[in-house]
Structure 1
C-alpha cells in the first residue's frame, strides 16, 4: 500500500508521520448519500442566533435525509477544547482545531454547521484556507449589539457590563464584521423559520443538496 507524503503539514511535533489516503473518495460518499458536503461557518455576536439556526437547520436537513452535524462553541469547550481558555492565543487555537475537525466532517461527506463567534477576521480566513474552493461558506449571522444585549439568553452581557467577564466580544473585545461573507442572515429582520428557509434556499441555489 502506497503511503502519501504528509499533507498540509503545519510543522507537526513529530516528523515520523505520513498521510494515509482512504480507499473511498469523497465523490463516492456523495454518490452514496445523493448530496454534496460543505462547511457552513456561522459567525456573529453572542446572542445573534448562531446555535439556534445551526440546530434548526440540522433538523431540517435530517428530515430531507441529508447528513449533517452541529459543532457548537459551548459544546466543543466541554470536550475537545476543554483545555483552552479565552486568551487571544487560546481563542485562535480553538478556531484552528474546529477548522480541522470541520474539514474531516466535510471529507466524510457531511454538512458541518459550525456555530462560533470567531470574532477575528484573520482566524476565519485561516479556517477558509484549509478548504478547497466551494467547501466552505462563511455565514454572517447579522444582529446588532443592542438587540443581542436585549436578548442576552445566557446573561453574559449583563456580566460583561458588570466587569465580571473580561475580553467579552462586543463589549470589551472587538468583533470583526465579515467584509465579504458568502451568506448574510439578518436575525433582527427574520424569524428563525425564515432564516432557516433562506439558508436552505442558498444551499439549493449552490446545488449542494442534490447531485446529478
Structure 2
C-alpha cells in the first residue's frame, strides 16, 4: 500500500475535483494512483446506507479498508468524514500511510455552489441528517490536518501544486 490521502471537507467543497486533477498530475510523473470516491462507494457497495451515525461509521470503515488494500503508490479518498473520530478510525485502519487533507470551503459557499443539488434537497427536507445542515450531523473540521487547501482562495491548479509540493517535502 502506498500513501493514502484522505480528503475531508463539506459536500461540494472540491474534494473529488482536486483528487481527479491530482491523479492526472501524479500519473504524469509515473505514479500509480487510484481514487476511492465517497459518492461512488455510497452509490455502489454501500448503497443500502443512509446518513445515520451508524451508517456513516460503516461507510467510513469500508472506504478505509478499501484504501488499505490498494496497491497504488497513492490512494486518493475524497470523503466528507465529518467527525474527528471518523478520521481517526480511518487513520487507525490505514496506519502511518494516512495523510489527512482538509478541503476548506465555507458552508455558505458550498450551498451557493450546490453542484450536485444535495443542499437544496437537504434544506427542503428531502435528505434527512445531511452532513453540515442537520443539527444532529455537523461537519467538524480537523484540528491539525497534514495539509489544508482552501478552495475559496486557491484555484484548482494551485491546489494540486500545493499538494504535490507537500508530498515532495515529505519525500513521498
Give the TM-score taking structure 1 as reference length. 0.77
Unaligned runs of 5+ in 1: 1-25, 27-36
Asked if 1:169 corresponds to 2:125, the answer is no
Larger RCO (CA within 8 A; separation ≥ 6): 2
Decide which of 29, 34, 37 is 1:72's aligned counterpart: 37
How far has the Cα of 1:132 moved from its partner? 3.2
Which secondary structure state, in structure 2, belongs to the residue aligned with residue 185 of structure 1? strand
Aligned counterpart, 1:200: 164
Shift of 1:84: 2.0
Partner of 2:101: 139
Give the total of aligned pairs: 170
* CA–CA distance in structure 1, aligned partners of residues 143 and 149 of structure 2: 14
Contact 2:51 2:128 in 1 (8 A): no
Shift of 1:162: 1.3
In structure 2, stretches of 5+ residues that fail to align are: none
Q: CA deviation at 1:47?
A: 0.7
1:125 to 88, 100, 123: 88
RMSD: 1.2
Aligned to 2:58: 93
Q: Select which of 103, 106, 112 maps to 1:150.
A: 112
Match of 2:145 among 178, 181, 184: 181
Whole-angstrom distance in 1 between the partners of 2:125 and 2:57: 23
Residue 109 of structure 1 deviates from its aligned partner by 4.5
Could you tell me which residue of structure 2 aligns to residue 56 of structure 1?
21
Which structure 1 residue ranges, 4+ long, deviate > 4 Å from structure 2? none
More helix as a share of residues: 2
- Per mean C-alpha deviation after superposition, the further-off stretch among 78-87 and 172-181 is 78-87
Larger radius of gyration: 1
Q: For the Cα contact (< 8 Å) 2:102–2:149, is it kept in 1?
A: yes
